[in-house]
Structure 1
Amino acid sequence: MSTPIGLSEQMLCAYVALQHLQEGRPLIDIAEELELSRFKVGRMVRRARETGLIEVRLNMPEVIDTHLSRKVAQKFGLQSVIAVETSSDEPSQVRKDLARVGARVVRETVNEDDVIGLTSGRTIVDMCRVVGEFPNCEVVQLTGVATSTWNQGMQAILSLGVATNRIFPLHAPLVTTDAPAARAITAQPSIIRSLKRLDHISKAVLSIGGWPNSSLLATQLSEWNEMSQARSLGVVSELGTSLLTTNGAAVPHLTSRTIGISTEQLASVPHKIAIGGGHGKHDAVLAVLRSELVDVLITDIRTAEYACRLG
């Protein structure tokens, strides 16, 4: 138990703590002002916190578990993980909550000299709708769209580059029925123009697809009666055009039929942000963490906890 301190010492401890924690003054400056040693001033800051004179509170617009975030980042060697407490477990709400945090991260990360690449997943579309003010940088669509009904959502992504007309869209499907169809589409001048920009991406923002029920690509393959083969290869996740197994290995099952950034190209992007979560994406997010293909992950707390348990 701490020894009680008198009022005068309480006032001094409180002053020192406020100067250091609130005003940001270095301990050495406060020590010189009060003619005390830097070590004694440091002890006073600690005493103010231990006795409850000063409370340090997390005051963020989003509820983020900072301890869990750091734990996951260290476990998997990521630059940063953001574990968000979502307002519900309903998939569409999880997407919106993660998209809102993703929008803030992108605003704070992207500069005007960046070439930013975006996938066409639902979470990224939601993110683009709320991102607000955005740098006048080059915007490149990283992949085609997974379903024929999703083109309307692409307008949210492409609108980011409207101000400077520095937009490189991929008006193409993510996966084609066969390799000849993919070759025909990628031979079109407008598609060639966009695909060439994939080697110049400086920052990539990608949604995580969870197989079999939380991925538009998986849904499309199911409609084509092709899911059983992909599942037999152990696919649990998709990131861009990369299909990943539980251990994070890329499976080249659809390589000749997909349109967008390859696994090799993605690996060479300097800064990669992945967004995804919810119950249907637990294994998918874990696969992405193990893939070594991302630098930053934005997910929900329950998915982060799952990754910690099984990682």
Structure 2
Amino acid sequence: MSDTNGGADVPKVDGRRVRGKQSQMLLMAGVARRYYLEQRSRVQIAEELGLSRFQVGRLLERARETGLVRIEIGLPDDLEMDLSGQLQDRFGLRYCAVTQAPDDSLQLLRSSVGQAATSLLQEIVSDRDVVGISSTRTLMGLPDLVDGFSRCAVVQITGAVSRIDAWDVMEAVRRFTRAGGGPAYLYYAPMVCPDDSGPEIYRKQPDFVRCQQLFRELTVCAIGIGAWGNELSTVYEAASAHDRETARDLRVCAEVVGLLLDGQGRTVQTPMDERMIGISEPELRSVPTRIGIAFDARKSDAVRATLKSGLINGLVIDRALAEAVLLADP
């Protein structure tokens, strides 16, 4: 009896055709084991089993189609794969992580997002990178890294905001360098100077000059996303009542490293700009990888504005915030 398909799809092993469903399944399993588990190339498998590379490719394809080989993309249990993928596709992000922490506790949300951001940095940063850290609650107050960190330079890119319930940006920088052993570049200055006389003094300090020189060499940044409201932005809390009202009148809804944005992601100029001590917008945009970090669903408008601005190409947020961003941006 001849093969109905002429034998074109029936492989041969050592010159003999493999007939029968069971024998083909065994052959598929052998090819799949060599390819996926033993890391052999298709050429090596073909030579070893007397097959063509085309036949090896077809057997691997059939192994996936029949379920003999199942490929799973594993994420940590506390990450939402579906929401992460939706945000990544919707906004063209290089990296995106959405945590599953319950939204009934802001402290838990902050810790969960901070740990996820730290884990992402641990994965993508190498010894050759220069990492910038901004003032953001999510990276403040976390315990030291157990698994270590790359031996890279870590640079403070915004001034500090004094808070009772959180460590400042300088301690966040030290946290990474304690784990990795790389150099920490810090400067002592507020994020927002209270008057026009202070900025020039701080910008002339050798520590800030040294950090500013490194702003042009940054390859990765971790930056907080704030909404223009109480307990939603470190800059808002550091600003005077007059500055807050001025920004609100100009329809500011988001803040990123001291840059104020409207709902469309456009940079809004305010009198505070000259009093900010930190990285500039052109310097930030020149950094290849810019990871935005936020928690709390009340920041959904701010996160959307930041995504529209193009200031970030990576995102780490909590589930409720991710759902709110996607819902408002169909």
TM normalised by structure 2 equals 0.79
Cross-structure match for 1:130: 145
Deviates more, 1:238-247 or 1:131-140: 131-140
Query: Do structure 1's residue 155 and structure 2's residue 176 form an aligned pair?
Result: no
Matching residue within 188, 191, 195 for 1:174: 191
Amino acid at match of 2:292: A
CA contact (8 A) 2:127 2:150 kept: yes
Show structure 1 runs of 4+ deviating over 6 A: none
Query: Do structure 1's residue 52 and structure 2's residue 59 form an aligned pair?
Result: no
Report the Cα offset of residue 128 of structure 1. Answer: 7.2
Cross-structure match for 1:275: 293
Count residues with an aligned counterpart: 305
Q: Which has the higher contact order (CA 8 A, sep 6+)?
A: 1
- Describe the SS at the equivalent of 1:251: coil
Report the Cα offset of residue 121 of structure 1. Answer: 1.0
- Describe the SS at the equivalent of 2:31: helix
Cross-structure match for 1:256: 274
Query: Do structure 1's residue 23 and structure 2's residue 38 form an aligned pair?
Result: yes
Q: Distance in 2 between matches of 1:164 and 1:52?
A: 46
Q: Distance in 1 between matches of 2:139 and 2:302?
A: 16
Report the Cα offset of residue 99 of structure 1. Answer: 2.0
- Describe the SS at the equivalent of 2:216: helix
Q: Distance in 2 between matches of 1:65 and 1:206?
A: 21
Deviates more, 1:54-63 or 1:203-212: 54-63
Amino acid at match of 1:158: R
Query: Do structure 1's residue 208 and structure 2's residue 222 form an aligned pair?
Result: no
Q: Deviations over 1:78-104 (max 9, x none)?
A: 3x2323232212332222222222222
Query: Do structure 1's residue 266 and structure 2's residue 284 form an aligned pair?
Result: yes
Matching residue within 102, 105, 109 for 1:88: 102
Query: Do structure 1's residue 141 and structure 2's residue 156 form an aligned pair?
Result: yes
Q: Distance in 1 between matches of 2:301 and 2:40?
A: 45
Cross-structure match for 2:76: 61
User: Quick check: which has more Rg, 1 or 2?
Assistant: 2
| Gaps in structure 2 of 5+ consecutive residues | 1-19
CA contact (8 A) 2:154 2:182 kept: no
Within-5 A mapping of 1:183-222: 183-212=200-229, 213-221=231-239
The verdict on how the C-alpha distance between 1:46 and 1:66 changes in structure 2, with shifts beyond 3 A counting, is farther
CA contact (8 A) 1:145 1:151 kept: no
Amino acid at match of 1:272: R
Amino acid at match of 2:274: S
Within-5 A mapping of 1:29-48: 29-48=44-63
CA contact (8 A) 1:203 1:271 kept: yes
Q: Distance in 2 between matches of 1:307 and 1:284?
A: 9
Report the Cα offset of residue 70 of structure 1. Answer: 4.1
* Pairwise CA RMSD: 3.0
Q: Distance in 1 between matches of 2:187 and 2:265?
A: 27
Amino acid at match of 1:204: C
CA contact (8 A) 1:241 1:263 kept: no
Q: Distance in 2 between matches of 1:19 and 1:126?
A: 47
| Gaps in structure 1 of 5+ consecutive residues | none
Q: Distance in 2 between matches of 1:296 and 1:147?
A: 27
- Describe the SS at the equivalent of 1:209: strand
TM normalised by structure 1 equals 0.83
- Describe the SS at the equivalent of 1:250: coil
Matching residue within 239, 242, 252 for 2:256: 239
Q: Distance in 1 between matches of 2:111 and 2:126?
A: 24
The verdict on how the C-alpha distance between 1:150 and 1:116 changes in structure 2, with shifts beyond 3 A counting, is farther
Cross-structure match for 2:6: none
Q: Distance in 1 between matches of 2:322 and 2:35?
A: 33
Q: Distance in 1 between matches of 2:117 and 2:246?
A: 33
Q: Distance in 2 between matches of 1:275 and 1:190?
A: 26
Q: Distance in 2 between matches of 1:202 and 1:128?
A: 25
Cross-structure match for 1:290: 308
Q: Distance in 2 between matches of 1:166 and 1:203?
A: 15
